[in-house]
């Protein structure tokens, strides 16, 4: 019996060397296969001949809702009323294709147009000079007149203007009940950049001869007088400047002394954050370097389509419930 069991044990010989050799062959084979796949790579859909002018940009909107405590004690009349302040984007067309009128149409709000052609956010001089009446209609002066209710300077300066709308608009602003206004929309085009107004003074953040100083100063005046009003700043769009030879200069490349347009844009955003108001970026989000020919009549002014685009952008940002319908 013992002899038979020994024969059965020896019937299936096990060679450990063969097992180890097989394992090594499998490891080497698998590694070689992985190396082959790695060298081969994966198919790519990149086409070296494909061309596009599109580029990725980040729109710098910063929408800040008005704090509920600012509306405490305010008697809401149930009508959304918007006051538009600025220069040419609002003032050059006051009919049904005007920016203010299109904002009214898209939002259903009552909209007042308090803009003045050819003005700037910043003042030309530190103190008012009768020789340059446009300072009386710059943003900081208009804002302080609204806050104080004193329009004497603006009314006097308007009598020297060849534009009859200066007197009409000043009168409208002086008669407007600011307690009925729910929102102020501020938009100036690239006129401060083109007129070489200083962009910012870190040592004097409220200096009204600077672009951002005038913005801070004017907004603060309104906030202190009428805390219930939500303030929204619509940025400038892309534009050109014109050099001494009459040639267009790309506003995002030409530094006229205080930075390019994108520098003004960033500083404007910073200023709105300082005073806690909303910011809509039109430089990247509306009329830009790629599409300006479709929306502008010249180097800086908008056509009807351009104003419609700006109005739609305003409505989309601040009245999204209407855009969703």
pLDDT digit string (tens) for 288-307? 999 999 999 999 999 999 99
For residue 65, the model assigns a pLDDT of 94
Query: Residue ranges of the domains in the chain?
Result: 81-319
Q: Point out the least confidently predicted range of 67-76, 86-95, 306-315.
A: 67-76
Section 68-91 average pLDDT:
93
| Residue 126, Cβ density class (10 Å: 0-12 exposed, 13-18 middle, ≥19 buried) | exposed
Specify the range with the lowest mean pLDDT, choosing from 50-64, 162-176, 181-195, 308-322.
50-64
Structure tokens given for 97: 């294709």
Residue 52 has pLDDT above 60, yes or no: no
Q: Which conformational region is residue 246 in: left (phi greater than 0), alpha (psi within -120 to 50 degrees), or beta?
A: left
Percent of all residues in the chain with a pLDDT value above 70, rounded to a whole number:
85
Question: What value does the CA radius of gyration of the chain take, rounded to a whole number of Å?
Answer: 33
Secondary structure (3-state) at 250? strand
Q: What is the architecture of the domain spanning 81-319?
A: 3-Layer(aba) Sandwich (3.40)
Average predicted confidence (pLDDT) for the chain? 89
Distance between CA atoms of residues 82 and 93, nearest Å? 17
Residues 6+ apart with CB under 8 A from 128: 135, 136, 141, 153
- pLDDT top residue among 75 and 61: 61
pLDDT tens-digit series, residues 4-24: 444 444 444 556 777 777 777
Residue 236: per-residue pLDDT: 98
Asked if residues 166 and 158 have their Cβ atoms less than 8 Å apart, the reply is yes
Give the span between the Cα atoms of 312 and 292, in whole angstroms: 16
CA distance linking residue 324 with residue 39, whole number of Å: 50
Distance CA 110, CA 71 (A): 19
Tens-digit pLDDT profile for residues 226-242: 999 999 999 999 999 99
């Amino acid at each position: 019996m013992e002899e038979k069991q020994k024969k059965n044990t020896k019937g299936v010989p096990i060679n450990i060397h063969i097992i180890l050799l097989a394992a090594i062959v499998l490891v080497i084979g698998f590694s070689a296969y992985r190396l082959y796949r790695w060298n081969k790579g994966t198919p790519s859909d990149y086409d070296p001949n494909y061309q596009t002018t599109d580029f990725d940009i980040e729109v710098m909107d910063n929408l800040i809702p008005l704090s509920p405590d600012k509306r405490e004690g305010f008697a809401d009349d149930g009508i959304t009323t918007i006051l538009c302040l600025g220069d040419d984007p609002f003032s050059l067309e006051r009919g049904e294709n005007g920016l203010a009128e299109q904002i009214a149409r898209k939002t259903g709000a009552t909209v007042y147009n308090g803009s003045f052609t050819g003005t700037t956010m910043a003042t030309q001089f530190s103190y008012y000079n009768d020789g340059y009446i446009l300072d009386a209609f710059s943003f900081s002066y208009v804002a302080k007149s609204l806050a104080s209710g004193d329009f004497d300077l603006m009314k006097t300066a308007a009598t020297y203007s060849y534009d009859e709308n200066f007197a009409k608009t000043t009168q409208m602003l002086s008669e407007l009940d600011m307690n009925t206004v729910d929102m102020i929309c501020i938009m100036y085009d690239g006129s401060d950049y083109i007129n070489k107004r200083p962009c910012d003074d870190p040592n004097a953040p409220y200096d009204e001869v600077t672009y951002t100083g005038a913005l801070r100063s004017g907004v603060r005046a309104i906030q202190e007088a009428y805390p219930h009003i939500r303030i929204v700043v619509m940025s400038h769009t892309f534009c050109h400047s014109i050099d001494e030879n009459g040639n267009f200069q790309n506003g995002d490349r030409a530094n006229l002394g205080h930075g390019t347009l994108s520098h003004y844009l960033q500083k404007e955003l910073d200023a709105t954050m300082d005073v806690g108001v909303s910011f809509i970026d039109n430089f990247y989000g509306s009329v830009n370097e790629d599409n300006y020919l479709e929306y502008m009549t010249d180097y800086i002014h908008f056509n009807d389509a351009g104003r419609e685009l700006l109005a739609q952008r305003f409505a989309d940002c601040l009245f999204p419930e209407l855009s969703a319908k």
